[in-house]
Amino acid sequence: MTDFYDQLTPFYHLVYPDWNASVHRQGEQLSALIKTEWPSSKKILDVSCGIGTQAIGLAMLGYFVSASDLSAKEIERAKQEAHDRNAELSFSICDMRNAYAHHGPGFDVVLSADNSLPHLLTDEDILLALGQMRACLSAGGGCIITVRDYEREERGKNLIKPYGVRVENGHRYLLFQVWDFDGEYYDLTFFFVEENLATQEVKTIAMRSKYYAISTRRLCELMQQAGLQNVRRVDGVFFQPVLVGTRAA
């Protein structure tokens, strides 16, 4: 899994049609949610920040953000992206299953966005991560999880998920994933077909990972088991379903 994201790091922004715009938009959307649910929040922890899509967006809105991820390469790039935008936030490498030992308590909001939790392949591991996220929260603080809506995804083999075409620095990239389900799990290969528009040379980069297609209903149950209250799914505020829960005051 770490290899997958280390390999993906230089291309990560290409997953979005305009990553920079997504940084701003996702920051605004999460900030609006935070202001509605936990209005006085200032201190945010992102436990799966990747290259910083949400963490940088939130820091640019004035939140004090600590951000970590398992992938050292993503953290290295996130630091550079933050620097390029004059965004001040701290980055470190950490497995979210160890978030409390690493970050300690006192956060107003703890976040794991864009389908990171389903990289943990058992309910036990997801529960462990959620317990760590809860422990990092101050009393009355909020947990935000955003995930794919797996109940709406077709199951099967050889499923193609197109991501589109991007053009950058004289290169054209065709992006797509191929999914192969086995029960509740699926193996994915993320293909980047890169064409040099000047020479027409083509090369293909393929990265492989595995996901647990856990339902949002089961994730909400695990959030409750982890000690979060008022757990529920919120739709229409982010590009994915958002699950929220609050640590008792």
- Residue 57 touching ligand SAM (CB under 6 A): no
Q: Which of residues 3-22 bind ligand SAM (CB under 6 A)?
A: 5
Stretch of 43-51, 152-160, 172-180, 203-211 lying at the interface with ligand SAM (CB under 6 A)? 43-51
- 60 or 96: CB nearest ligand SAM: 96
Interface characters, 102-141, with ligand SAM (x: CB under 6 A)? -----------xxxx--xx---------------------
CB of 202 to ligand SAM, least distance (A): 26
Stretch binding ligand SAM (CB under 6 A), from 51-59, 194-202, 210-218, 238-246: 51-59
CB of 108 to ligand SAM, least distance (A): 19
Residue of minimal Cβ distance to ligand SAM: 50
70 binds ligand SAM (CB under 6 A): yes
Which residues are within 8 A (CB) of 210 and not within 5 positions of it... i.e. 6 or more apart? 1, 119, 121, 185, 186, 187, 188
